[in-house]
Amino acid sequence: MRNVVILAGGSGTRLWPMSRDDRPKQVLPLAAGHSLLRVAYNRLRGLVEPENIYVCTVGAYTDVVRKELPELGEHNIIGEPARRDTANAVGLASAVVSRNDPDAVVAFVGSDHLISPEDEFRAAIEHGFEVVEARGRSLVTFGIEPTHPHTGLGYIERGAPIEGTSAYVVDRFREKPDRATAEEYLATGRFWWNSGMFVWRASTVLNVLDTLLPESAARLREVAAVWDTPEREATLAEIYPNLRKISVDYAVMEPASQGKVDADVVVVPMPVHWLDVGSWAALADTYDADPNGNRTDSVTLSCLLDSHDNIIVTDDPNHLVATVGLRSHIIVHTQDVTMVCPLSDGERVKDLVARVQSDHANYI
């Protein structure tokens, strides 16, 4: 049976101070008044049955997820007691989804992406399902055709086409490149952005984890074995926080693409406009710019004198943000925090959050 898991465990530190411990970015109204999580869920309509849609999130977020998606079944929220990166998240979800269906096919999608057109997204995921159903040992990922030499994303180098499909063998995964390397990637026409979305048979990825991450795989099977029993929470709390923290790209996709396991890695093109909303600069791409290149959301009230190429956001429609002679800065105002930084340092907001966590923890 086909299933979809929405990965919604990110902390959203680069979107601080809007994103907080008790109000993660997934549930903020960042998409035309709707939360990213709601948009991700709605995007799946017609792709699989509603009872086959799951959300994998940090245990502390289960209540806000339930509030945001009240139609989601109680057993369709998979709560991690600690963040142990995506290899463990997809391993846990694959084990849970397959406990009553050994032949389960599972797609993993993000909760922090803006994607259009949505019918092309669904068509690509549908094709991913078809590839996996025809090629049971395949691990499918999705490639986004790059529109510019992005230095903040990983890349997939595609190889030979797979007959009868629109998929390709993955030659290599490449880390986030510098500008010159990214330009070289685009010039070859062989590279796609790595979307971080996947489809596979649950049994296939669990067998791969048995080889590549054996201790974690064994312990995740222990958790799945008691998932429908009163022992679940205690077993999760004992096992999960001690698992090795590692991403699915490092733990599974890269070694599998190198022939280290009995599985192959293929990439399906996803011809969409795709935005990974992971930073203020990325989110600002969804805002209209004024004649001077300043970007604000629909709530923000601003008065900008001789100011250019700034990103200004506030959650209080009655709070005026006024600037004079400001160039290329980010200003984010909330009820209790005002954050200002050069646009060029936008990726360092997560470092600022670490400092605030140390010195002013009640503002996290």
Gap between the Cα atoms of 50 and 53, Å rounded: 5
Residue 24: what pLDDT? 87
pLDDT score at 74: 85
Confidence of residue 254 (pLDDT cuts 50, 70, 90): very high
> In this structure, what token pair is assigned to residue 226?
């008691």
Residue 32 has pLDDT above 80, yes or no: no
Residue 347: per-residue pLDDT: 87
Quick one: pLDDT band at residue 329, thresholds 50, 70, 90? very high
Mean pLDDT of 258-286: 92
Helix, coil or strand: residue 306: coil
pLDDT at 11 over 80: no
SS3 281: helix
- Predicted confidence at residue 60, as pLDDT, reads 86
> How far apart are alpha carbons 289 and 240 in whole angstroms?
45
How many Å apart are CA 296 and CA 364, to the nearest integer? 23
Q: What is the pLDDT of residue 173?
A: 93
* pLDDT for 27 beyond 90: no
For the stretch 146-192, pLDDT in tens is 999 988 889 999 999 999 999 999 999 998 899 999 999 999 999 99
Six-digit token pair at 256?
């599998």
Tell me phi and psi for residue 142, to 5 degrees.
-125, 135
CA gap 199, 296 in Å, rounded: 36
42: CB partners within 8 A, 6+ apart? none
The answer to whether the CB of 6 falls within 8 A of the CB of 41 is yes
